[in-house]
Structure 1
Amino acid sequence: MAIWFTKSFTTKVFEGYLNSLGEGSSSVQANKASHFKDKIRWMVRNIGCKTEFTPTCFTVPLLAHEEDLDNIAGGSSSVGDNTAGSSSQQTTPTPRRRAQSRLLELERHVAINGRIPMTIAPGAEKPISPHAVRFSQAIGVCVRKTFPVRCLKWTDVGREYIEVVKGDLQRFFVLDFNDQAMNRFVEHQMLTTFKEFRADCHKHFKKYSDPEEARANPPNALVGRDEDWHFLCDHYISRAFQEQSRTNKAARQKQPYNHSSGSKSFLQRQYELAERRGQPVDRVELFRETHVRAGTFVSQAAEDAHNQMLELQSQPTPEGSQPLSEDEICDQVLGRRPGYSKGLGWGPKPKARRTASASSSSTSCSQSTEKEIELQAKLHEALERIEVQDRNHQALASQVEAMKKMIEDLTRAQQGPPHDP
């Protein structure tokens, strides 16, 4: 039998609890307030308590309106600055609150309409649905609350955590994980979110010029998890991470342009454009739609690429041959790497005619990319080994210094006190 808490009851209990805190310091009161909220949330998760959310008796789990508890306590937690007094004056929703609002909206939708069916478009390996963005956002929220911060690589994330996230998603969506395409998409989206969260933490770390100051000011998502934050800080100042960070930064700077599609996948945009226009939208037109903002291309490089595609489309076809398809034109102008078609994103692999020269060029490019990835992995491993050797060398030097001091002390002791002449 579920236990119900009205929102007003929770508020009154909390206000009474605050009155019992006495004249302690604000930090002590804040810690106790946080402890109270944790207790309430524990009851929800473990005892099955529920709470009334609106006067219309619309009911959702208390966890879904943790934002109200945060408002009662005058505090919040998210990735971002953690400055004293900022919570009471904060007017802009924090990332964590936005995530909670998304889950709350999803809870409401599911309570009224039932779980949302999600399928993968044949050959696309991505969902195409009015709820596609909501699905990706839900994956992100579940990953952030489930995956351990100390997993430095995707391979460090145990299957048990991945299965927990899949179970959470099935509360909101009808998913067939026997479909390999669905499995691939969800796990790839988990990986993407996992990397984005770690990037957010690193961005917060870089706000501080002094590493010790950074250690003392965790992002709001890691407040109260000092060991996890200190672990990340130590990782950020390691030689291996800094070298890898410089390599990644150089690679990002080589990217000629960004897209203007926001959080929607290119395939979702293509589907919506086709629905609105009543006719298919090819990849050349899709490239223009996803690289224009307010009627202007996001960069000169993007405009040049589009003009080159149009030029290839307009070229006369030699007698006895077939014109280039849109896929071939895009691959020729934008390039392509395994598992990723530029202008379509991760996953889709359109089949195009392959001439002998095109096949040779594609194979050469693929081999070059694979070789680059392999070399980067070897470089990273070598840097890690160097760092371990450096730590061992420092430890050995300390031991030698200690032994040297011990020998000097023993020598002085054997010689006895100095004699006056």
Structure 2
Amino acid sequence: MLEGFKIPLTLDKATKAFIGTSVTDFATELGIIVRDVFPMRFHKWDSVPEDVKTLMYEKLEGKFELLHTDNVLMEYVNSRLHIQWKRSRGVLSQHWKNNGGKTNPRLARSNMHGDCRNQDDWNHLCDYSESEKTRTYSDQMELNRRKQVNISRGLSVDSQSCIQNCKFTLFYS
């Protein structure tokens, strides 16, 4: 990239999403910034201090044309940061669970995920995951998921395909 050149971002006002070839670059950079810069010690997006969010905006401004005066654009950027932050926390949480977090927290704690910024962040996430409040909530959500009814839509081996039972009508003008 040329020095001083910033990638333009085009926002579709109807869908409130970026369009064009810069979308992939933006998503990639967003993931890198959240992974490398963002501390994972916050448990709700609303509790993240404005100075931390501002730092991420500044990192994005290094590569992209962000117009702070465009409220719709900035709301979209904020929502994408929030989504990426949740996704990153989810990856780390899943890594903790997959490495024995529920049955052997010491083992999970000793196996920090490669994308975690530092040991302090990892320890904080492990402490949070091991807390009684979080474990109770997690167990309740697991029970709730087991109670959900999944409708197969008739695509199992024992039944005919839903598509075979549907009648289609074509209309020509």
TM-score (norm 2): 0.75
**Does structure 1 conserve the Cα–Cα contact (< 8 Å) formed by 2:7 and 2:64?**
yes
Greater relative contact order, per chain length (Cα 8 Å cut-off, separation 6+): 2
Shift of 1:165: 1.1
Counterpart Cα distance in 2 of 1:130 and 1:230: 39
**What do you get for the CA RMSD once the two structures are aligned?**
3.3
Q: Which residue of structure 2 aligns with residue 212 of structure 1?
A: 106
* Unaligned stretches of 5+ residues in structure 2: 155-160
- CA displacement, residues 217-252 of structure 1 (integer Å, 9 cap, x when unaligned): 2112337x3332222112112222123334555469
Counterpart Cα distance in 1 of 2:149 and 2:11: 29
Change (3 A) 1:147 1:113: closer
Shift of 1:149: 1.6
Q: Which residue of structure 2 aligns with residue 189 of structure 1?
A: 80
Q: Which residue of structure 2 aligns with residue 140 of structure 1?
A: 31
Shift of 1:201: 0.9
Q: Percent identity of the aligned residues?
A: 23
Amino acid at match of 1:237: E
- Partner-residue secondary structure (3-state), 2:78: helix
Amino acid at match of 2:56: V
Amino acid at match of 1:236: S
Counterpart Cα distance in 2 of 1:244 and 1:118: 40
2:6 is equivalent to residue 115 of structure 1: yes
Counterpart Cα distance in 1 of 2:67 and 2:13: 14
Q: For 1:22-41, list aligned pairs within 5 A.
A: none
TM-score (norm 1): 0.33
Counterpart Cα distance in 2 of 1:133 and 1:191: 17
- CA displacement, residues 99-153 of structure 1 (integer Å, 9 cap, x when unaligned): xxxxxxxxxxx32893211121122111111221221221121122222121111
Q: Which residue of structure 2 aligns with residue 238 of structure 1?
A: 131
Which one has a larger percent helix, Structure 1 or Structure 2? 1
Amino acid at match of 1:200: V
Change (3 A) 1:254 1:166: farther
Counterpart Cα distance in 2 of 1:208 and 1:219: 10
Change (3 A) 1:140 1:222: closer
- Partner-residue secondary structure (3-state), 1:111: coil
Counterpart Cα distance in 2 of 1:198 and 1:189: 14
**Does structure 1 conserve the Cα–Cα contact (< 8 Å) formed by 2:35 and 2:115?**
no
Shift of 1:185: 0.9
**Does structure 1 conserve the Cα–Cα contact (< 8 Å) formed by 2:30 and 2:60?**
yes
Change (3 A) 1:240 1:169: same
- Partner-residue secondary structure (3-state), 2:18: coil
**Does structure 2 conserve the Cα–Cα contact (< 8 Å) formed by 1:147 and 1:157?**
no
Q: Among residues 7, 12, 20, which one is paired with 1:129 in the alignment?
A: 20
Counterpart Cα distance in 2 of 1:134 and 1:188: 17
Q: Which residue of structure 1 aligns with residue 157 of structure 2?
A: none
Q: Which residue of structure 2 aligns with residue 151 of structure 1?
A: 42
Shift of 1:183: 0.9
